[in-house]
Structure 1
């Protein structure tokens, strides 16, 4: 688990005081509490199902294949009886909006293409649903979703979404793209810019070859680079908004709606968009959108640009820090 130096923790605490905290979402919090309680009843006495809220493994997160984390906590989907699996699915549905749960399932299904185990995704509940601070998460290769609840307040993040391959090339699922919106809309936003603005948005010819924040427990804003939202033409803003909303779909409805409203009302000078790498499809590229309270990183620069790593980070809300 990554530990930040004291000076960074102090800076983050100061930053948190000026940022939106967890969202009040009474009906969604109740739905998550009910779904998590039902899951725990279904999983019965499995000691792997629930850990303490303050267990250090709650924030020891990543998205690596199981062979790199053989001791990952939680109950794997592959070990669940059908009733338990349905309860876990219901918990995922309660925690996401629109096609969010379907996106998570599509990412999991890509393990078939890699000849890896789609059952190696681990569900963990931290604390007791409905009592004080509690949370849950599901984690495995290319997927890490983390939720925290306290009373009727909810926080979500980090949210990691990956895809390999980015497009299924053959078989009955040929053409499947688990993360098409995130790729296509951001590129379209870039290409809609006039040449001078596009040149400023592209801050480097090479990509960082992964998300820059990696699996740090808490992150600070990246240096401001690229274009301010206020400089983007309407089409680019609309396209980027669609890409951002694809990440909000991994949040409960009320929280996703609050984040959309914050994005719509944010000071345009406080949001930035940057691009690195090629503008051509199927070539290495990276993009990021950053505001005062959040950061999205999207990197596709390995395996012939057929391998996405992307993440949503809340500077003051990840792992329920603001609850």
Structure 2
């Protein structure tokens, strides 16, 4: 049974910006880690912000633990947020942590909002959260500017888990860190999932980071999900041309090679002039698209549990085989 359900979610930022998300659907089960991957501007951050209600959705719905979050307004929405069931961990820990507060006060923010704890109980929860993320509680007297980048991201995670959430929504939580700190944060997230049973939605543009952490992965392009399924299957045998392009750009995840370079999966420029009438947003860039792809919206639920928004999903293996043969 799903803990978090996103059904046909759409978000617009006005006429100039247009539609940022359209018809996005995904689910997260208790204790599961779901990755969302896509290039910059694909709608990843908008998705997690809309899930927690920071960005209003203009179509679809978000349901968390039986509560339809997108139907909540005003006092009811504020009451829902106080429960702390979903916690968002931002990419830039320096900007997301109040520079004037101590680490202990930052970790206690959610507990203070929720209420119901004595000062000693709250202090115990703060120390417990800091220890969980591998920090000495003695750091509680310092301010964000007095600790390292890796420590700040751990503080942000401590603040999130202090309220004992059921879902963590992590928006590229390790992308601003050096390689060593990044690996430590990813290992920490995996440990928190196992020890606390918390589900995680992990936003990233780095397929390598996701490959060893997530159970399932969803691929966003132009605000639409083009493919989702078990991470080993999606990365190991892509069923959508855009996923294949991402995989070809990250050979370290061990997928089957698709050609000499990622550029092999890019089409001629004349595809960019195709009319677009609500079909596949990737059609102008797809090496396998036909004119119908630009006007007919694709969606296919496969027998293996993978969802592929591609008119050519059934013949994808043959097409890839022909492409691989022509390029090698």
TM surpasses 0.5: no
- Highest CA radius of gyration, 1 or 2? 2
TM-score with structure 2 setting the length: 0.27
Q: Which structure is richer in relative contact order (CA contacts within 8 A, separation 6 or more)?
A: 1
Structure in which a larger fraction of residues adopt helix: 2
TM-score with structure 1 setting the length: 0.27
